Amino acid sequence: AQKITQTQPGMFVQEKEAVTLDCTYDTSDQSYGLFWYKQPSSGEMIFLIYQGSYDEQNATEGRYSLNFQKARKSANLVISASQLGDSAMYFCAMKSNAGGTSYGKLTFGQGTILTVHP
């Protein structure tokens, strides 16, 4: 079974500062993918960044980077230069490619509410 754990129910950061949102995962699969999504109050889930289990380098997308530590099974999201619009719920999710199923069955964590203060 797969499990995603986000231990921070809520986080606060000052505008323009960096913040790290924690995510640990548990899987026995060798091949898997890790995703981060942002959910503003409007409800839409916005894809932010992806890290494959065999990727040797940490993924980066603009102000978002993923601190991937495979041995520790962690995939923390780092947001640099926080903006007021970054205030939202953030979800870590995992997809396993085991069993021959390539469709995107994602397992989600409980989420972290990020609040950016001016």
Partner 1 sequence: ETGVTQTPRHLVMGMTNKKSLKCEQHLGHNAMYWYKQSAKKPLELMFVYSLEERVENNSVPSRFSPECPNSSHLFLHLHTLQPEDSALYLCASSQDSLGNSPLHFGNGTRLTVT
Q: What residue ranges bind partner 1 (CB under 8 A)?
A: 4, 31, 33, 35, 37, 42-47, 50, 52, 91, 93, 95, 97, 101-111
Q: Distance between CA atoms of 15 and 80, rounded to whole angstroms? A: 10
Q: Distance between CA atoms of 111 and 68, rounded to whole angstroms? A: 18
Of 19 and 95, nearer to partner 1 (C-beta) is 95
Of 64 and 108, nearer to partner 1 (C-beta) is 108
**Least gap, CB of 80 to partner 1 (angstroms):** 21
Token output for 38: 């942002």
Q: Which residues pair with 29 in a beta bridge?
A: none
**Least gap, CB of 111 to partner 1 (angstroms):** 7
Of 99 and 118, nearer to partner 1 (C-beta) is 99
Q: Is the C-alpha dihedral spanning 79, 69, 29, 100 positive or negative?
A: positive
**Least gap, CB of 84 to partner 1 (angstroms):** 21
Of 17 and 44, nearer to partner 1 (C-beta) is 44
CA 69 to chain centre: 13
**Least gap, CB of 15 to partner 1 (angstroms):** 27
CA 84 to chain centre: 19
